[in-house]
Amino acid sequence: MTFTAGDRRSGTSSPAPLEPRLRWGPSLSRSATLHGAWWPRSTDPLAELPALILAVDEQRGAPVTCIMLGLTGWDGRPNRLRVAGRSIRLGWFTTQPDGLLTASCADRYHVALLVVPPATDAELAEAAMLLAADGANAIPAPRILPTVMERQAAQG
């Protein structure tokens, strides 16, 4: 199933989603700036989100009910996705910062993840994911990649 950028239909996940490239922080505290990082392999939400949703379900112990994403960087914008026999709402917002995904769970808990763009260099992506998952990190998602690039440039 293919979606255009403005498409608002529902989608169905593939039967065997790829294992997500995730790094979790030490805790899922409500006070954390970020709870970890996710590095999708593509910009196709139907291919990438199912495995992420299942991983968040497992990590939280409560099912994901909604995913909130920014408008940029994705090849479609379905408004619902069927995963594990349930329908997950997908919200696409101009107010959602670039590089941030928020997953709402059935227990009203919100998980905030840095989203590393798929085409990012592996070394940069790994460093960004480590920083985002650091329990002491206070850098917001949109500033993680620039901060890592500045640090790498300073190390020369």
Encode pLDDT of 32-90 as tens digits.
889 999 999 999 999 999 999 999 999 999 999 999 999 999 999 999 999 999 999 99
Encode pLDDT of 90-99 as tens digits.
999 999 998 9
Which range (14-28, 83-97, 130-144) has the least confidence? Answer: 14-28
**Domain chopping of the chain, boundaries:** 10-155
153 CB burial (10 A radius; 0-12, 13-18, 19+): exposed
Closest CA to 99 of 143, 149, 33: 143
In angstroms, rounded to a whole number, what is the distance separating the alpha carbons of residues 117 and 128?
A: 11
